[in-house]
Amino acid sequence: MLFVASASAQKDSLKHKTDSLPDRFYVLQNVDRDGERLPEIEIKEVTINGNRKFFAGFQYWRYERLVYNVKKVYPYALIVREKLKDVNATLEKLPDDKERKNYIKEVEKQVFHDYEDDMRDMTITQGKLLIRLIDRETDNTSYDLIREYRGKISASFWQGIARLFGTNLKEEYDPFGDDFLIEKIICEIDAGRL
């Protein structure tokens, strides 16, 4: 009798057991490599950053504040990158300098209309960070961008204003030096972990 009860219990447990196949499947592609046909799978890119010790006296709250500022400013740097691509593509299609200048003025008005309030709400620290991130995203300093699209006099004027607030429009982004923590935070944001 005991044997029959355990056998029926096993039979009931087998009814509820699901398929033994895994939840995820990976499709292997056959790729020719040096005359050999090998299976291959595409995987996500992995970024490895070495562990740097925070320098002496670095408080955790400073890091958290940097994370907050990067999260607030990084989307604007991405907008600048996309807007710059669009402007350059349109400028290539325009036939003469007069139309290009008019187009740049229209874009400038639109940008001021869309983002002026957001820029005014930024702190000086966030503004400095935005200048660096614009260089990161466009491979051009803010000074170079202003000089190219608005002229040398305008670039010098805005450089003077920036210097009054303790920053430099010619500042370049250095992901392996001073901007290491910023780069690490951006990698975390891009990976979806922050």
Average pLDDT over residues 153-169: 87
Highest mean pLDDT among 18-22, 64-68, 178-182: 64-68
The pLDDT assigned to 71 comes to 93
Residue 126 and residue 182 in contact, taking contact as beta carbons nearer than 8 Å: no
The pLDDT assigned to 111 comes to 85
Q: Return the closest-CA partner of residue 180 out of 85, 93, 54.
A: 54
In the numeric block, the tokens 């202003």 are attached to 146
Full 3-state SS string of 134-169 = HHHHHCCCHHHHHHHHHCHHHHHHHHHHHHHCCCCC
Average pLDDT over residues 41-51: 70
Check pLDDT > 60 for residue 144: yes
Average pLDDT over residues 80-102: 87
Check pLDDT > 80 for residue 53: no
Say which residue, 2 or 13, is predicted with more confidence.
Answer: 13
Check pLDDT > 90 for residue 69: yes
Amino acid, single-letter form, for residue 83: K
Average pLDDT over residues 55-62: 69
Cα gap 134→155, rounded to integer Å: 15
Amino acid, single-letter form, for residue 75: P
Average pLDDT over residues 60-70: 89
Check pLDDT > 50 for residue 190: yes
Check pLDDT > 80 for residue 178: yes
Amino acid, single-letter form, for residue 12: D
The pLDDT assigned to 50 comes to 61
The residues facing 32 across adjacent strands are 37
The pLDDT assigned to 2 comes to 42
Q: Which two tokens stand for residue 71?
A: 């999260």
User: pLDDT category, 19, cuts 50, 70, 90?
Assistant: low
In the numeric block, the tokens 């960070």 are attached to 129
Check pLDDT > 70 for residue 129: yes
Q: Return the closest-CA partner of residue 161 out of 142, 139, 181, 188.
A: 142
DSSP state of 124: H
Q: Which two tokens stand for residue 132?
A: 């660096």
